[in-house]
């Protein structure tokens, strides 16, 4: 795991998981979609596709709930890996981000839920927004973990308008940034024929 980029309180951290966990997560998200266990924004938010289009499921970070949803992962050496590896490795990445932002240990952070999401071609979160609103005031930081790499020309970047930054989806890479109004962003449309897969969540204090 290594820090690739840090500027304007945005961090990009590479090589978060080992054992091809990202590829296994993509497969599991596809299975959940086929089993009609993912929900789209039209169902959950009654919003038009021109604003938001993706499919997702939210789960608490307990090993029991993660295992019920995802099952067990397989290591490259054949060993079984519990899904608790996901919040554990994301927690290690969070520590790197905290150090860069000078967020000391006296501030207790928690990440109670994870969101697994698939964005089809043409989809995305097309409106500028921040992650802290009236009903989400406890959000302190946000993270977005890319589970697959999109081919050149496929777009699908996470774009930060004030920071003039576009982050292209790259497998096994996580982006952290503040949840507040200083970092409005959007998920650009996905072009081509390949879905975009991410794991996202929020850090609370």
Q: List average pLDDT for each run of 10 residues in the chain, which is 205 residues long.
A: 97 95 96 94 84 93 93 92 95 95 82 96 94 80 97 95 97 97 96 96 92
Which residues pair with residue 16 across a beta bridge?
Answer: none
pTM exceeding the 0.85 threshold for the entire prediction: yes
CA dihedral in degrees (55, 57, 58, 59; nearest 10)? -160
Count the domains in the chain: 1
Instruction: Specify the pLDDT at position 15.
Output: 97
Instruction: Specify the pLDDT at position 134.
Output: 62
Separation CA 191–CA 178 (nearest Å): 28
Structural domain for 195, as ranges: 2-204
Q: Name residues whose C-beta falls within 8 Å of residue 47's C-beta, 6 or more positions apart in sequence.
A: 41
* Mean pLDDT for the chain overall: 93
Instruction: Specify the pLDDT at position 65.
Output: 94
Instruction: Specify the pLDDT at position 100.
Output: 93
Question: What percentage of the chain reaches a pLDDT higher than 90?
Answer: 82
pLDDT single digits (tens) 12-51: 999 999 989 999 999 999 999 999 999 998 887 888 888 8
Instruction: Specify the pLDDT at position 152.
Output: 92
Instruction: Specify the pLDDT at position 87.
Output: 95
Instruction: Specify the pLDDT at position 104.
Output: 76
Alpha helices, DSSP H, located in the chain: 21-34, 41-44, 63-70, 85-101
| Number of Cβ within a 10 Å radius of residue 181 | 12
Instruction: Specify the pLDDT at position 138.
Output: 83
Q: Please report, for the domain that includes residue 180, its CATH number.
A: 2.60.120.620
Separation CA 176–CA 199 (nearest Å): 12
Instruction: Specify the pLDDT at position 132.
Output: 85
């Amino acid at each position: 795991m290594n820090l690739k980029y840090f500027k304007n309180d945005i961090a990009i951290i590479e090589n978060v998981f080992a054992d091809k966990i990202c590829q296994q997560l993509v497969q599991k998200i596809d299975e959940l979609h086929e089993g009609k266990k993912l929900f789209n924004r039209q169902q959950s938010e009654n919003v038009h596709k021109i604003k938001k289009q993706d499919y997702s499921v939210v789960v608490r970070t307990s090993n029991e709930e993660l295992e019920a949803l995802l099952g067990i992962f397989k290591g490259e050496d054949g060993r079984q890996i519990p899904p608790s590896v996901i919040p554990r490795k994301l927690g290690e990445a969070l520590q790197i981000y905290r150090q860069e932002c000078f967020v000391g240990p006296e501030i207790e952070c928690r990440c109670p839920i994870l969101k697994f999401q698939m964005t089809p071609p043409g989809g995305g979160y097309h409106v500028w927004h921040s992650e802290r609103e009236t009903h989400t005031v406890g959000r302190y930081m946000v993270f977005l973990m890319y589970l697959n790499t999109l081919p050149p020309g496929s777009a699908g970047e996470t774009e930060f308008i004030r920071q003039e930054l576009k982050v292209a989806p790259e497998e096994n890479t996580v982006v952290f940034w503040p949840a507040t109004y200083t970092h409005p962003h959007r998920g650009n449309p996905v072009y081509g024929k390949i879905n975009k897969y991410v794991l996202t969540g929020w850090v609370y204090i």
